[in-house]
């Protein structure tokens, strides 16, 4: 694990001057990922906010080899590149000691939804690659439409809060659990606000032999509707309310990390999920008295998922 002093001395592999919104969580996540290894990295990225803002022709913000993929095939493309790399080394066309890491990325739209099939296939085939989902909770690039990662009650352009419904009707998909079910060597959840926890998880992901998946919470000021300077705070509140847990699963063994590990020991420190939601414009309708029952329902689901995770941690370590 690199120290803070070592990290600040590393060259940046995502250049400043990209066109991502002020306060966007995605570039924070990318910098943390690329600080987790000093090896050469090949990156593939699905269409989305991160891709369209960092590769505006004829410019690029990437200082590493970068492949733009369609929405649905980031994992498939990078798995193909990784397979070609192994073949070239086997044929003696690349030095046996040449180290290259392979990273596929996508937002929640390109991961939870449109890209799920290719991601599942790449993980099942056992490619030596890392897939990172930067989860901002909606299709932000195309107009803030709901995705299966969007929280229940969140107002989006396709699940608006109004007289017919009060935001999205469904709870978010547990994508990290879906990846754990693939029985791959390493799966983790991280958050941009706890950068040392995130970098450590990305480092582990790059070091394992075989596929690894990391789901990192990357708040979006425009979609979540909060001031851009509060991005890190929004990520922290999501963790402190247990809406987003920090944990990792190494070869089937669960472990809580960061604030989540501390909250498991001190459950009285867990904040109500409304502490997180009330800071975001997409949930402002939940402050109305008529939606009090919906807030209770969301809180109960957050509690249920947290207790489910605690049981898995206990069971895998008993």
* CATH, residue 237: 3.40.50.970
Which residue pairs, CB below 8 angstroms and at least 24 apart, start in 233-238? 233/193, 233/279, 234/276, 234/279, 234/280, 235/25, 235/191, 235/192, 235/193, 236/191, 236/193, 236/194, 237/271, 237/275, 237/276, 237/279, 238/191, 238/276
pTM over 0.85: yes
Bridge-partner residues for 191, per DSSP? 217
pLDDT score of 318 = 84
Q: What is the dihedral of CA 231, 308, 138, 62, to 10 degrees?
A: 60
Spatial CB neighbours of 149, under 8 Å, sequence gap ≥ 6:
108, 112, 135, 137, 138, 172, 173, 175
pLDDT score of 147 = 98
How does DSSP classify residue 310? H
Q: Which of 54, 56, 7, 45 is nearest to 27 (CA)?
A: 54
Domain with 163, as residue range(s), is 4-316
pLDDT score of 1 = 77
Bridge-partner residues for 164, per DSSP? none
At 153 the three-state DSSP class reads coil
- Mean pLDDT of residues grouped by 10 in the chain (318 residues)? 85 94 98 96 97 95 96 97 97 93 98 98 98 98 97 98 96 98 98 97 97 98 98 98 98 97 98 98 98 98 98 94
Domain count, the chain: 1
Burial profile 285-302: b = 16 or more Cβ within 10 angstroms, e = fewer = bbeeeebeebbeebbebb
Region of residue 57 (phi > 0: left; psi between -120 and 50: alpha; otherwise: beta): beta
Burial profile 54-91: b = 16 or more Cβ within 10 angstroms, e = fewer = bbeeeeebbeeebbbbebbbbbbbbbbbbeebeeeeee
CB 248 within 8 A of CB 257: yes
């Amino acid at each position: 694990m690199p120290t803070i002093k070592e990290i600040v001395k590393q060259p940046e592999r995502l250049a400043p001057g990209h066109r991502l919104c002020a306060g966007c969580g995605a570039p924070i996540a990318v910098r943390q990922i690329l600080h987790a290894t000093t090896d050469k990295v090949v990156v593939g990225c699905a269409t989305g906010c991160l891709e369209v803002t960092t590769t505006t022709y004829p410019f690029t913000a990437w200082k590493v080899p970068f492949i733009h993929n369609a929405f649905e095939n980031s994992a498939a493309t990078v798995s193909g590149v990784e397979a070609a790399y192994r073949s070239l080394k086997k044929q003696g066309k690349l030095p046996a000691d040449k180290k290259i890491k392979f990273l596929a990325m996508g937002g929640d739209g390109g991961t939870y939804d449109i890209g799920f099939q290719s991601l599942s296939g790449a993980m099942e085939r056992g490619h030596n690659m890392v897939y990172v989902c930067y989860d901002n909770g909606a299709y932000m690039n195309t107009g803030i439409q709901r995705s299966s990662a969007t929280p229940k009650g969140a107002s989006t352009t396709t699940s608006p809060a109004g007289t017919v419904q009060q935001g999205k009707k469904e709870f978010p998909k547990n994508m990290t659990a879906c990846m754990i079910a693939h029985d791959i060597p390493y799966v983790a959840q991280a958050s941009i606000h706890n950068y040392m926890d995130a970098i450590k998880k990305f480092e582990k992901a790059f070091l394992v032999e075989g596929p690894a998946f990391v789901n990192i919470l990357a708040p979006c000021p425009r979609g979540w509707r909060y001031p851009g300077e509060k991005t890190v705070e929004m990520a922290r509140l999501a963790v402190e309310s247990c809406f987003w847990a920090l944990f990792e699963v190494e070869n089937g063994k669960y472990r809580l990390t960061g604030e989540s590990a501390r909250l498991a020991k001190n459950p009285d420190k867990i904040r109500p999920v409304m502490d997180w939601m009330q800071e975001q414009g997409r949930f402002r309708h939940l402050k109305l008295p008529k939606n009090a029952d919906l807030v209770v329902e969301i809180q109960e689901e957050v509690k249920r998922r947290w207790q489910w995770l605690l049981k898995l941690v206990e069971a895998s370590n008993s």
